[in-house]
Structure 1
Amino acid sequence: MSNISNPKIAIFYFAFLPQFVLPGATHPTLSMLVIAGLTFIIKDPGGFFAGWLRSHLSVLSWLNRSSGAILIGLGVKLAFERRT
């Protein structure tokens, strides 16, 4: 709800979306609305998944530990990598 009333989000989308609309499009506003709708459709399940994770602490704990182990492994790999 806080992002709906945040004008910075709207300004970001109005600045970001036009670069994906073709200059000669017959309905550029419709193209922008379609892109915004697709963005919502793609991002909305992520929000539901994040809410589900917050309610399942054992899964969240496992996810935190495994992502931490991956980051540590990547750090170790980077530390031993040779410079070219």
Structure 2
Amino acid sequence: MLSLDFFITSLIVVLIPGTGVVFTISTGLTAGKRASLFASLGCTAGIVPHLLASVLGLSAILHTSALAFQGLKFAGVAYLLYLAYATWRDRSAFAIADVSNTMSAGRLVLRACLLNVLNPKLTIFFLAFLPQFIISNGPAPSLQMLTLSSVFMLMTFAVFVIYGLLANVFRTAVIESPGVQNWLRRGFAATFLALGLNLAFAQR
């Protein structure tokens, strides 16, 4: 169950840049270290519904129901496009300010959480990913799924925190350069747009 293969595969999956990574890095750059921690927490919390869906077998319904998949998918697309627009328009993001003065911790966690909650590909991923490491003659499969899920979430949180802290290291240099700020703002907006379009054309 908790094999070396599981840890290596999970680490690779977590390290691959996706919506959560992009959001955490952008938050670390624009709002600082504390805000990036909340972003990491939110992105990790957003995994919970997908893990529960896998444990309860709901992911199979999402996999076979075109309507359910498309509905969740386009909600995710709309949210990513909103983030792209908001990032593009926000001119105050790089101001030196504590997250409590710009966006409440709860709101930041919620925004990060929605990124993963509204991504149906994540549920399908866990449907295909976790069962590979279930031991047929081991404890109850649901218990094994919960154990694997918990470890995966801890790895996700740890890696995202590191991403956010590394981004924060470069924050001062970014704040001192308006040109770099504009480039990053447009880059993050374009990335969210690209991720939204990629999700829009995703298949079950």
TM range (shorter): 0.5 to 0.7
- Structure 2 match to 1:16: 129
- Runs of at least 5 residues in structure 1 that lack an aligned partner in the other structure: 59-84
Distance between the aligned counterparts of 2:117 and 2:162, measured in 1? 20
Query: Residue 54 of structure 1 aligns to which amino acid in structure 2?
Result: A
Which of 135, 142, 148 is the aligned partner of 1:29?
A: 142
RMSD: 1.5
Task: Describe the SS at the equivalent of 1:14.
Answer: helix
Query: Residue 157 of structure 2 aligns to which amino acid in structure 1?
Result: D
Relative CO higher for 1 or 2, CA cutoff 8 Å, sep ≥ 6? 2
Which of structure 1's runs of 4+ aligned residues deviate more than 4 A? none
- Structure 2 match to 1:38: 151
Distance 1:57 1:30, change over 3 A: same
Higher gyration radius (CA):
1
TM-score by length of 1: 0.61
State percent identity of aligned pairs. 31
- Runs of at least 5 residues in structure 2 that lack an aligned partner in the other structure: 1-112, 172-204
Distance between the aligned counterparts of 1:35 and 1:54, measured in 2? 29
Offset, 1:57: 0.6
1:60-84 Cα offsets, whole Å, 9 max, x none, are xxxxxxxxxxxxxxxxxxxxxxxxx
Task: Describe the SS at the equivalent of 2:135.
Answer: coil
- Structure 1 match to 2:164: 51
Offset, 1:25: 2.9
Query: Residue 36 of structure 1 aligns to which amino acid in structure 2?
Result: S
Query: Residue 38 of structure 1 aligns to which amino acid in structure 2?
Result: V
TM-score by length of 2: 0.27
Task: Describe the SS at the equivalent of 1:3.
Answer: helix
Task: Describe the SS at the equivalent of 2:117.
Answer: coil
Query: Residue 28 of structure 1 aligns to which amino acid in structure 2?
Result: P
Distance between the aligned counterparts of 1:26 and 1:48, measured in 2? 32
